[in-house]
Amino acid sequence: MEILAATCYDRVRNGGEIGIDCDGPCVKRCNGRACSSPDDCWSGVCGTNQTCSVPTCSDNIQNGLEAGVDCGWGCPLQCESQFCTLDIDCKSSVCWSETCRVATCNDRVRNNGEIGIDCDGPCVKRCNGAACSSPDDCWSGVCGTNQTCSG
């Protein structure tokens, strides 16, 4: 049986670590421990009280799983027009070419109060099943004989 050496990057508390991947044999310190710079802390946050702290959406540091400074994952509301890696990084749910984009009625994402993907709510085009009087009313471009959008 092979025994794997404990590491400071395996997201497991092992090998004499005080916390998960921090203190003990690890260079990075756990939250609540003394620090003099963000590099001292596993979280990347050395608070004003010189203590390693949990990352927040208002600490003015790119840390935790953030895609940019205080934006991404748990902080999407602050990412508009900033760098992103995933749609979830953005309030609009639209990450295109690594930049959060403003929600539109043709971004192929249900966002900004839309009832369906790019239809109803703030969008002019109607969703399938909604009443219509012409194909131009419908996102699908099909207004059925029963005067409802379909397609």
Domain ranges of the chain: 1-54, 111-151
The DSSP string of 102-129 is: ---TTSSS--TT-SBTTBSTT-SSBPTT
**Confidence at residue 72, expressed as pLDDT on a 0 to 100 scale:** 73
Q: Could you identify the residue written with the tokens 């219509």? A: 132
How far is residue 140's CA from residue 147's CA, in Å, rounded to a whole number? 13
Q: Give the bridge partners for 41, in sequence order.
A: 29
* d(C-alpha 43, C-alpha 66), whole Å: 12
**Pair 100, 90: CB distance under 8 Å:** yes
pLDDT for residue 14: 87
pLDDT value at residue 82? 73
pLDDT tens across the length of the chain (151 residues): 434 446 788 888 888 888 888 888 888 888 899 999 988 988 888 888 999 988 888 888 787 777 778 877 777 666 777 778 888 778 788 888 888 888 889 888 888 888 888 888 898 899 899 999 999 999 899 999 999 999 8
pLDDT at 3: 40
pLDDT at 1: 40
Q: How far is CA 73 from the centre of its chain?
A: 3
Q: E strands along the chain, which residues? A: 95-96, 99-100
Whether the full predicted model's pTM is greater than 0.75, yes or no, is no
